[in-house]
Amino acid sequence: MVLIRHFAAATILMAAASAFAQSTSGATVVVPATGEVVRANDLAIATFGIEEQDQDKAAAASRVNRKMAEGMAILRAADPQASLKTQGYYTYPVYAEQPRPLSGMPAQKPVTVGWRVGQYVQLKTLNLAALPKTAAAAQAVLSLNSVNFGLSPATLKKVDDERIAATYANLKERIASIAAAMGRTPADAVLDTVDLEATGNYAVQVTGSRVQYAARAVASAAPEVAEPSFEPGETTLQMKVVGKVRFK
């Protein structure tokens, strides 16, 4: 009697599973998937700056221009393959501190007591091994403002195929899992649509490394600077996709 009851229960379960599988015929399922590829960073973007302050605007500007030219020459000599781009030239007046006006009295007109002049230059290089030495050499004249690490365009192009393959593989795995949960086989699933735009995140997402330094003006006779320490780290490239699956 026990065997008969077990057999009957198994038969009922099989019938229910068969009925459930038949009920999913023609069903459409939207399946999100993701993929990512991790690569060691091979590109560094460093920003150097110089700032001078003087009562004479021309004198401050002259020192900035001279030191920037000297700093760029150092960068070119230390890393001939690097690309340089100047940016962010600025000139601001420096005002004297004014006492708070008495109640009902008009505020005094600001009095210019000096000028602050500065400029930045960006260095982009693939020579990460020489970057500490290059930065230290430039810091004898310029200040190091920031360092960002990432992947070069050539590397991004090489890993793009892997990123797409990883995302599509994850989509197939999820479709197989959904099919099993529905009592179907992956062969029953027909992939109607692969939508790279439905999530709004179809563009490459890059998470890189960043080392930030505060900008500081350097003295005109700066001593030799010890080499800074950098860790380029790695970048994760992600991709998202949405597949529309129809079950036979």
- Tens-place pLDDT, residues 40-50: 999 999 999 99
Q: Does domain 44-96+109-150 have CATH number 1.20.1050.10?
A: no
Residues 157-169: tens digit of each pLDDT: 888 888 888 888 8
Residue 102 has a pLDDT of 67
The rounded percent of the chain whose pLDDT value lies above 90 is: 41
Identify the band that residue 23 occupies on the pLDDT scale cut at 50, 70 and 90.
low
Number of neighbours of residue 204 by Cβ within 10 angstroms: 13
Residues 222-245: tens digit of each pLDDT: 557 888 888 899 988 888 888 888
Nearest to 231 by CA among 206, 209, 207: 209
Lookup result for tokens 């973007």? 45
Return the beta strands (E) in the chain as ranges. Answer: 28-40, 43-54, 83-95, 112-125, 143-150, 189-195, 205-207, 209-212, 234-247
Least confident of 75-89, 130-144, 151-165: 151-165
| Radius of gyration, alpha carbons of the chain | 32
Residue 183 has a pLDDT of 84
Q: Where are the domains of the chain?
A: 25-42+151-220+233-248, 44-96+109-150
Eight-class DSSP state of 54: E
Burial class from Cβ neighbours inside 10 Å (0-12, 13-18, 19+) for residue 198 reads middle
**Cα–Cα dist 57/115, whole Å:** 5
Residues 24-78: tens digit of each pLDDT: 677 888 888 888 899 999 999 999 999 999 999 999 999 999 999 999 999 999 9
Q: Does domain 25-42+151-220+233-248 have CATH number 3.30.110?
A: yes
